[in-house]
Every structure is written in structure tokens, then in C-alpha cells.
Amino acid sequence: MPAAAAEERAPAESEISMSNKATRQAFGEALAALGESHKDIVVLDADLSKSTKSELFARKFPDRFFEMGIAEANMLGTAAGLALSGKVPFCCSFAAFVTGRYDQIRISVAYSEANVKIVGTHAGVAIGDDGYSQQGLEDIALMRALPTMTVVQPADDLETAAAVKWLAEHEGPVFLRLTRQNVPRVHAEGYQFQFGKVDTLREGTDAVIFASGGTVAPALEAAAALEKEGISLRVVNVHTIKPLDVEGVVAAVQASGNLAISAEDHTVIGGLGGAIAEALSANHPARLLRIRVQDVFGESGSPEDLLAKHGLDAAGIARQVRAFVRG
């Protein structure tokens, strides 16, 4: 599947100015560090270790790294067998490719109760130029639909490192969704990752925006801009998309004028917005604006242009929130 030649090029200037570290990079570093104390961790990749950053682990622990070639189905099954024999496998590829092997995840991983950590990098249209085939856009929906599957999407390097440690010590299948692009740090040093709990990054009373992964920083930026216009926007980071912290979501909506917004680099069906919609409709009906990629395919373009096109940059988020709150 991979056609990732573009990976090796230097990051564009715009990406550097956007931020400091991609969550895939933070993942690779955290995993390599964790390998020291967690001897049961093994890592598999399907010819994308330079892109998923699993190569950082591979260099340090070559005997516990398995290069599976461009064969994701076999990689997932092999990971399941390793897990059923006591290992803690991290199975890495682009989110689009690895979740595309759905039947293997469904039967060999989830249904078999195999303790496999599925790592999908290159989330969303934010990967840019490579276009739709490489963009994970329906992956959250697919993974959420599986019983026992946990879905985690960290927002910055600190949260990624904490989440990777949690994954390694948690028994059960997990899908970890990571960005290709650099993202700014939104947490302070010493941040405590609380699995299954929403993470309030900014207080606000007029509305609440639930963001995850690469959209957390632009949501914060939008909130800062809106404050100058007199709109008080609460910003909640949802790192654990499944199981969703329903109580935390409802409390945030109640505290924010019963106006809810979700923002994610994923299609409209079944992602974070879908999860929030399900939670609210069943527990606390409230108006919900879903800022997301429409029910369409992605395409080539610069990350900035694509995020702007889909209204997922700070300006786009601010524009949509403004209309929603004032509308």
C-alpha cells in the first residue's frame, strides 16, 4: 500500500512554524524509551517504520522489531499470535492502511481478545500532498464499531508519551491515532494523562468545543480569537474517544450554555462528532455543530490548504463557532 516517498523530504517551513513535534515522532521516542523497562513490548511495521517512527524502537531493540513488509493483514495476525503468547505488540502503519485490514482486526485481534496495540499514523487530510489513499479519514469510525476496542488520540507530545505508556500497561486492544504533522504542545510539563476522562484545556461559558488530536491546538487558537469578540468558548480535549467520558461531556455542555461543537480531522460519520452526538442525544439533548471533513474523499494539496478547505484550521473553526453561537 504505501507510496510514501514524499516522507523523506524535509518538513515544509509552514509545518515548522505550525508547531514543535508530530505525535508520531513523540510515539516513536516514547516507545523506544519504554522498551527498556517493558521487555514484553515487541513492534511490527509494514515497510513504513521511517514514517511511523517505529524505527526508533527498531534501532534500539532490533530483536524485538519485526519488519513484515507491505502485508498489513499478516502483520495484524502475527501481532495477535504474539499477544496471545504473552507479548505486547505494537502494530504500526498509516491509519488508512492498518484499519483497512478490518477483518483481521475484527477476528484475530478484537474477537480473539488479543492484547494488540494498533498504531495508525498519518491521520486526516492534514497529511497533505499524498492525497486520499494515504489519509486516515474513516479509521475512528471503523475502530469504534468493534466491541472491546479502545480508541485514543493524543493532542501533543506529552500526552502521546503518557498514552503510549498507558497502552503498554493496559490489557486489551487499542487503536492509537497519530498525526503526521507537527502539533504545538497544549499541556504543561508534568501533565497527568487520565485515560477515559475528558481534559479541559480552557474554561468557557457560551459554548464548548470538543477536539482531539491535531485539531486541539487550532481549537485553542480559535477560542483565544473568539474571546476578543466576546465569545467565551470552553475547549475540551477528548484523547479517549472510546470509551467516551459521557459524564464529562455532558457536564461540559451543561456548563457552556448547552451549545456543543466537535472538531476533528475525520469524516462526519462515526468519529468524535458521531460519538458526541450519540452521547448527547441519549443523555442530554443539545445542539451540536460538527466541524469535520464532510462525507467526501480527501485529495492532494498542502496541509494548510486542505485544513482551510475543510474548515479545520483556527480561522475556519472560529468562523463556524461564531456563526453557530450567534446564529
Partner 1 sequence: MHPATTSRHADPALVARLEEIAGRMRVDIIEMLARAGSGHPGGSLSVIDMVTALYFHVLKHDPKNPGWAERDRFVLSKGHAVPAVYAVMAEAGYIAKEELATLRQLGSRLQGHPVASFVHAPGVEANTGSLGQGLSVAQGMALAAKLDGASWRTYCILGDGEMQEGQIWEALMSAPKFRLDNLTAILDYNKGQIDGPTNEVMNLEPLEEKLAAFNWHVIRIDGHDIGQFLDAIEEARATTGKPTFIIADTVKGKGVSFMEGRIEWHGAAPNAEQTKQALAELARR
Q: Find how far residue 229's CA is from the centre of its chain.
A: 30
Nearer Cβ to partner 1, position 66 or 324?
66
How wide is the angle at C-alpha 145 spanned by C-alphas 191 and 283, nearest 5°? 70
**79 contributes a contact to partner 1 by CB under 8 A:** yes
Segment contacting partner 1 by CB under 8 A, of 48-56, 62-70, 183-191, 271-279 = 62-70
b/e burial code for range 211-241 (CB count within 10 A of at least 16 → b):
bbbbbbbbbbbbbebbeeeebbbbbbbbbbb
Q: Which residues pair with 86 in a beta bridge?
A: none
Q: Find how far residue 78's CA is from the centre of its chain.
A: 24
Give the Cβ contact number of residue 11 at 10 Å.
13
Report strand pairing: 21-22 vs 65-67.
unpaired
Segment contacting partner 1 by CB under 8 A, of 73-81, 195-203, 260-268, 296-304 = 73-81
CA distance 249 to 252: 5
**89 contributes a contact to partner 1 by CB under 8 A:** yes
**61 contributes a contact to partner 1 by CB under 8 A:** no
**87 contributes a contact to partner 1 by CB under 8 A:** yes
Q: Rule CB under 8 A: choose which of 8, 13, 63, 171 binds partner 1.
A: 63
Helix axes 272-283 and 246-254, enclosed angle (nearest 10): 70
Q: Rule CB under 8 A: choose which of 12, 71, 251, 255 binds partner 1.
A: 71
Nearer Cβ to partner 1, position 93 or 256?
93
Nearer Cβ to partner 1, position 111 or 191?
111
Nearer Cβ to partner 1, position 7 or 113?
113
CB contact at 8 A, 185 and 209: no
**269 contributes a contact to partner 1 by CB under 8 A:** no
Residues numbered 7 to 46 that lie near partner 1 (CB under 8 A) are 42
Segment contacting partner 1 by CB under 8 A, of 1-9, 67-75, 201-209, 280-288 = 67-75
Q: Which residues pair with 237 in a beta bridge?
A: 199, 211
Q: In 3-state terms, what secondary structure has residue 325?
A: helix
Segment contacting partner 1 by CB under 8 A, of 47-55, 108-116, 187-195, 201-209 = 108-116
**172 contributes a contact to partner 1 by CB under 8 A:** no
Residues marked active site are found at 72
- Please give the single-letter amino acid code of residue 312: L
What residue ranges bind partner 1 (CB under 8 A)? 42, 63-64, 66, 68-69, 71, 73-87, 89, 103-104, 106-108, 111-114
